[in-house]
Amino acid sequence: MTHSQNWTDENNSPVCADESPFTVWTNWDASQRDLFVLDFSGNLILHQNVSIGLPDDLEQIVLNLTQESVAIDVEINPNVFKLYQNYPNPFNPKTWIRFDLFEDSEVKINIYDVLGRSIRLLLDSHQVAGQNSVQWNGKDEFDQTVSSGVYIYHLQVGKSKSMKKMLLIN
C-alpha cells in the first residue's frame, strides 16, 4: 500500500510529493523541516527537527545509523568471487565497485534503493578472471541523478550472489 503525502510551504504551495509504502507517515507529527531516517524495514531510526538547518555532522549521523541498524554484507560461495566495498564511500557523484573473479564468468551488477526497487543494471556481461571494477555515476536507468541515500549493489556470478551497501550524498 502506498500513501501519498504532499508537503507544502508556508504559502501552501507544493514543495514535494512523497510516495511512501509506510502508512506511518500519516501518524508522525512532522513538518517539511523534519529529517527522517528509516532502516530497510521501514522502521523510524531518526526523527530530528532541522528548522535551524541541517546538522554539520549529518553525513556522520547517517553513516553511524546505517552501520548500526543495517547488516547487509552477505556473501555466498566466496570461492567463485570476492566483492569489495565501493570506493569512495560515501560518494558524490561517482564510486567504483571492485570485485575479483576466480574464473571467467557471466556477471551482473544491479543497484537497488533501500526499498528493493531496481535503480540501474550496471553490468551484465562476460568478465575475465582477475581483478575487475565498474564505476557508478549515481544515475538511474533513465540517466537521471538519484537522490542522496543508502543504495545496495548486488553482484551475481552464476548462482552465487553478494551485496553491500553504499551511501550517496548529493
Report pLDDT digits (tens) over 6-62.
444 455 544 444 444 433 344 444 455 666 666 555 556 666 666 666 666 666 666
Strands (E), the chain: 3-8, 14-20, 34-38, 44-49, 74-75, 81-83, 95-101, 105-113, 118-127, 130-136, 149-157, 160-168
The fold adopted by the segment(s) 74-168 is: Immunoglobulin-like (2.60.40)
Nearest Cα neighbor of 155 from 117, 128, 130, 125 is 125
What are the residue ranges spanned by the domains of the chain? 3-69, 74-168
pTM of model > 0.75 = no
CB of 107 closer than 8 Å to CB of 129: no
> pLDDT digits over 64-73, tens only?
655 544 444 4
